[in-house]
Amino acid sequence: MISPSSRANRGWWDGNADDYQLEHGAFLRDDGFVWCPEGVDEADARLLGDVRGRRVLEIGCGAAQCARWLMGQGARVAAFDLSHRQLRHAQRIDLGGPAVPLVQADAEALPFAGESFELACSAFGALPFVADPLAVLREVRRVLVPGGRFVFSVSHPIRWAFPDDPGPRGLTSDRSYFDRSPYTEQNDDGSLGYVEHHRTMGDWVGLVVASGLAVTGLLEPEWPEGHERVWGGWSPLRGRQLPGTAIFSCART
């Protein structure tokens, strides 16, 4: 059964997918693999290593830009997202190559057989939004082969303690880093319209370990010199002072 968080977020992403792709599509590039607003590009970072011939699962794929890049590198890819409208954008982008295999699914219950993939990846897909990230991590472990790896990016936990504002207001902490109450928005009828959940850095490490995966790396990308693009609360001003993204590398031992 779908959780209240996932039900709310499915509606939100269906309603906002068009705006998201309009605003960020050019930065993400139709066949680019951008991990975060800081612009870390998998073509340079190679956090997944050599993907050629590997079976790779993209989690919370949006318009499947990353999946398209992976296919271009010779990976065998499946991609899924909770939002039908995001997947419509994934179908809309046609670069003349083979279509990305797409599934509509909730990351808390993966419709894939065990040990189906050597690699899994997620660029801000699903993990910041789910009420039960341990369920997602356990599902990822289940579908990975022994020795398989999972790399995922999320908002850096320290950002929770600050207003989500790209300007100077966003530089002064106004709440506790340790406050785990989720950020929520309501629909006009009072129902839950959007949810984002907060975990501390220690929570994330604990969750990965509890799922049976091991943390093998953590990248806190620095704001690149000359990068001026503002994305929500991410900006050059804040990026110079505070990390905005955490990228965890994990392995199934």
- Decide: 245 and 34 in contact? Cβ < 8 Å: no
Rule CB under 6 A: say whether 234 interacts with ligand SAM: no
Rule CB under 6 A: say whether 86 interacts with ligand SAM: yes
Rule CB under 6 A: say whether 83 interacts with ligand SAM: yes
Rule CB under 6 A: say whether 61 interacts with ligand SAM: yes
- Decide: 70 and 49 in contact? Cβ < 8 Å: no
Residue 238, phi then psi, degrees to nearest 5: -75, -35
* Residue written as token pair 């040990």: 115
Binders of ligand SAM among residues 19 to 38 (CB under 6 A) are 28
- Long-range pairs, 46-53, Cβ under 8 A, ≥24: 47/151, 47/217, 47/219, 47/247, 47/249, 48/119, 48/121, 48/149, 48/151, 49/119, 49/149, 51/75, 51/119
**Shortest distance in whole angstroms from residue 13 CB to ligand SAM:** 4
**Shortest distance in whole angstroms from residue 190 CB to ligand SAM:** 22
The tokens for 3 are 């959780």
Among 31, 38, 42, 106, binds ligand SAM (CB under 6 A): 106
Rule CB under 6 A: say whether 170 interacts with ligand SAM: no
Rule CB under 6 A: say whether 81 interacts with ligand SAM: yes
How many whole angstroms separate alpha carbon 76 and alpha carbon 70?
A: 8
Binders of ligand SAM among residues 110 to 139 (CB under 6 A) are 123-126, 129-130
Contacts of 188 (CB under 8 A, 6+ apart): none
**Shortest distance in whole angstroms from residue 125 CB to ligand SAM:** 4
Phi-psi region of 127 (alpha: psi -120 to 50; beta: other; left: phi over 0): alpha
Q: Which stretch binds ligand SAM (CB under 6 A): 5-13, 39-47, 209-217, 228-236?
A: 5-13
Among 11, 37, 62, 244, binds ligand SAM (CB under 6 A): 62
Could you list the residues that contact ligand SAM (CB under 6 A)? 6, 9, 13, 28, 60-62, 81-83, 86, 106-107, 123-126, 129-130
